[in-house]
Amino acid sequence: MRRAAAAATTRIRIGMAAEEVRQASAAATAAEAASASVPAPAGSRWARVWPSALRWIPTSTERIIAAEKRLLSILKTGYVQEQVNIGSAPPGSKVKWFRSSSDEPRFINTVTFDSKENAPTLVMVHGYGASQGFFFRNFDALASRFRVIAIDQLGWGGSSRPDFDCRSTEETEAWFIDSFEEWRKAKNLSNFILLGHSFGGYVAAKYALQHPEHVQHLILVGSAGFSSETDHSSEWLTKFRATWKGMLVNHLWESNFTPQRIVRGLGPWGPDLVRRYTTARFGSHSTGELLTENESSLLTDYIYHTLAAKASGELCLKHIFSLGAFARKPLLHSASDWKVPTTFIYGHDDWMNYQGAQQARKDMKVPCEIISPTGRTFCVYR
């Protein structure tokens, strides 16, 4: 979900008066607490006896998977969906998900598409506030050439949503990198192509830096997290932070007031907000031609259930980025350590641009390809 965290948060906050924002925050917190007081985890007694129509937040893990199946049913390519058990945590890991108060096993929701024999494996990692179903328009074309495997990162989509209690950038990175590595082991994968979009690009790149022996090629699509605030001094952001609105927005950011909390706070009115978002987000960029009416309806339903479910992985935001979505530990600073051939893909309005890609490749000592809206360049450094 490109720029969803920064843009959606900023648009919502700036347009509200200070008191209204504080009231919205309190209402959202109260709604989440009320929902939590009626436990309805997948397979529990409460989930069976408490009608979903009477829940303040009408969603569940089962409804996420059901929405996913409806969305993927429009594809021509067959697939297998599975919940891959990733255990608790590897020895010596800094991850916190094994300390969750929940005793449910940890799973990564995984979709593997039918492919030709001996086709190279392509693993796809979604961005912030998203899940693997956001790639649904890409799956058929990619599956004609690759063995495509798409996952929901831990804490998102149909994957397990443990309590998120990371307290630092290092712990937060370990949450995603280590859980992905445990998933790789469970799937017995090696020598695969790894594609990450937006925040998923950040995770994929960090994983490739730690485990280059498993990644044949890295593809970063509109990757976030390359530069820090000091790399790109922003005059408007400095001025905005000096205002009362800026101080309020920064406080909410550091308090992990995510867009998903607003969806949950609205309860049964949340789907309508998501419907408006989907229409504006995809309709304006496509002049109504990108998604059919059926696709738009199915995607809206899918997005709602993935956003409204228990807060988990989404709470990574403040630990990875500062206000304005500037990385606290930018990938650009690790370019000289790159060991995996990389392709950068970015659009007209994206996290990464030509200048950022060119800056990244200056220090890279591996084959590097840049694909942009205006053309394509290829460079090799040894």
Residue 150 belongs to a domain: yes
Please say whether the dihedral angle defined by the alpha carbons of residues 267, 272, 273 and 275, taken in this order, is positive or negative. Answer: positive
Per-residue confidence (pLDDT) for residue 286, from 0 to 100 = 44
Residue 93 belongs to a domain: yes
- Of 255, 249, 254, the C-alpha closest to 10 is 249
User: Tens of pLDDT along 265-275?
Assistant: 888 888 888 88
User: Tens of pLDDT along 282-312?
Assistant: 765 444 457 888 898 999 999 999 999 999 9
Give me the residues paired with residue 197 across strands: 221
Residue 32 belongs to a domain: no
pLDDT tens track of the chain, all 382 residues?
Answer: 334 333 333 333 323 333 333 333 343 334 333 333 333 333 344 444 445 544 566 778 889 999 999 999 999 999 999 999 998 766 667 676 666 666 567 899 999 999 999 999 999 999 999 999 999 999 999 999 999 999 999 999 999 999 888 899 999 999 999 999 999 999 999 999 999 999 999 999 999 999 999 999 999 998 988 877 666 656 777 788 788 888 898 888 888 888 888 888 888 888 888 888 887 777 654 444 578 888 989 999 999 999 999 999 999 999 999 887 888 999 988 888 999 999 999 877 777 666 667 777 778 888 888 887 766 555 444 3
User: Tens of pLDDT along 142-162?
Assistant: 999 999 999 999 999 999 999
Angle at 257 between CA 154 and CA 249, to 5 degrees: 135
Percentage of the chain with pLDDT > 90? 43
Residue 23 belongs to a domain: no
Which amino acid type is present at position 355?
Q
Per-residue confidence (pLDDT) for residue 98, from 0 to 100 = 64
CATH number for the domain harbouring residue 303 = 3.40.50
Residue 132 belongs to a domain: yes
Helices (H) and strands (E) in the chain, counts: 15, 11
Q: What is the dihedral of CA 216, 220, 223, 226, to 10 degrees?
A: 60
Residue 111 belongs to a domain: yes
Residue 44 belongs to a domain: no
Per-residue confidence (pLDDT) for residue 58, from 0 to 100 = 72
Task: List the domain range (segments joined by +) for residue 155.
Answer: 54-189+228-324
Give me the residues paired with residue 222 across strands: none
Per-residue confidence (pLDDT) for residue 289, from 0 to 100 = 58
Residue 355 belongs to a domain: no
Domain count, the chain: 1
